[in-house]
Structure 1
Amino acid sequence: MTSSYQRPQPEEVARVTSEAAELLEVLWGRASTAPVSASQLRVLFILEHNEGINLRTLADALGSTPPSTSRLCDRLQAVGFMERRAASTSKRELRLYLSRRGRAFLTDLRSRRETALTSVLEQMPAAQRSALLSGLEAFCLAAAAQIHGDADEKAPPARTA
């Protein structure tokens, strides 16, 4: 770990962040995402922030093909987490929406994840929690700007699971 007197290099911060992400995956695994897979969960997160997108746009966001994405959506629709509706401009085009049950699932999942995180954060000294919060807020801003392709835009931190 880097001492507080040295300026940490981006590579060191990236290594520790990667380790933290792996530990988060373990903690979040304990909070369980059943009955959906990690890929299906990504679909839910995308739909939450992009209501009414079409299958091709969703496939692009996932870096997948429309047939594979359609199968993910079939499963999510079967468990009642998403809905397909005809577009108002074209009855042939389907728009994808998170259902009320899907929203409730994400709310519950986030609550369980936050409970798991709280038990870890309570073990940290208050000053380190404060530093972590500041650092994570800056990270969220930088990541959101990079993801959205506008490094100058000061978007609020993205709410993630």
Structure 2
Amino acid sequence: MVTSSSPRPEPAEVARVTSEAAELLEILWGRAPTTPVSASQMRVLFILEHNEGINLRTLADALGSTPPSTSRLCDRLQAVGYVERAASSISRRELRLYLSRRGRTFLAEVRSRREQALESVLAQMPAAKRTALLQGLEAFVAAASAELHEAEGTGARTA
């Protein structure tokens, strides 16, 4: 709940409420199991969806993890058919990681379940508040995407 009487809330206040909303979303979405995939493995799938053909080191960097730990995550995802590995056309020693068709289907199903859970909550909101939320979220997505792309451009990436 917004506590500020100011028409222009400070970023810190919005961050606090956004964090609270994110925590509630995790609880709401946690009701729909993503078995056989852990939260860390979900992050791998989301990253691969947007970065087809990245190598293990780049994926590990994106996860803030080590290549051996990331390799084990990918081993498990490959075992359930969600990730594919292919030799790089540049170096035979390097493997490229791809989301498989089954992995894409899995992500689509997860998103569908999440959206259904959200629709139930959003249906309880007045239309004007949903409109304001949509506008705010669109601006948030644009700003977050720009910041992520900027970070990717300045970070050390191994293609």
TM-score (norm 1): 0.89
- Cα shift readout 1:11-46 (whole Å, capped 9, x = no counterpart): 111111111000000111012221100000000001
Q: Which amino acid aligns with 1:131?
A: A
Equivalent pairs: percent with the same residue? 79
- Is contact 1:48-1:98 (8 Å) kept? yes
Change (3 A) 1:71 1:93: same
CA distance in 2, matches of 1:4, 1:124: 21
RMSD: 1.3
CA distance in 1, matches of 2:4, 2:66: 46
Q: Which amino acid aligns with 1:8?
A: P
- Is contact 1:2-1:8 (8 Å) kept? no
Q: 3-state SS of the aligned residue for 2:31?
A: helix
Q: Does 1:102 align with 2:103?
A: yes
Q: Does 1:68 align with 2:69?
A: yes
Deviation at 1:6, TM superposition (A): 3.0
More displaced stretch, 100-109 vs 89-98: 89-98
Structure 2 counterparts to residues 43-54 of structure 1, below 5 A = 43-54=44-55
After TM superposition, where is structure 1 displaced by more than 2 Å over at least 4 residues in a row? 1-7
Partner of 2:155: none
CA distance in 1, matches of 2:60, 2:145: 20
Structure 2 counterparts to residues 135-154 of structure 1, below 5 A = 135-149=136-150
Q: Which amino acid aligns with 1:6?
A: P
In structure 2, stretches of 5+ residues that fail to align are 152-159
Q: 3-state SS of the aligned residue for 1:90?
A: coil
Q: Does 1:116 align with 2:109?
A: no
Q: Does 1:39 align with 2:40?
A: yes
CA distance in 2, matches of 1:6, 1:118: 28
Change (3 A) 1:31 1:4: farther
More displaced stretch, 31-40 vs 107-116: 31-40
Q: Does 1:9 align with 2:10?
A: yes
Where relative contact order (Cα < 8 A, 6+ residues apart) is larger, the structure is 2
Change (3 A) 1:3 1:65: closer
TM-score (norm 2): 0.90
Q: 3-state SS of the aligned residue for 1:83?
A: strand
Deviation at 1:7, TM superposition (A): 2.2
Q: Which amino acid aligns with 1:95?
A: R
Q: 3-state SS of the aligned residue for 2:35?
A: coil
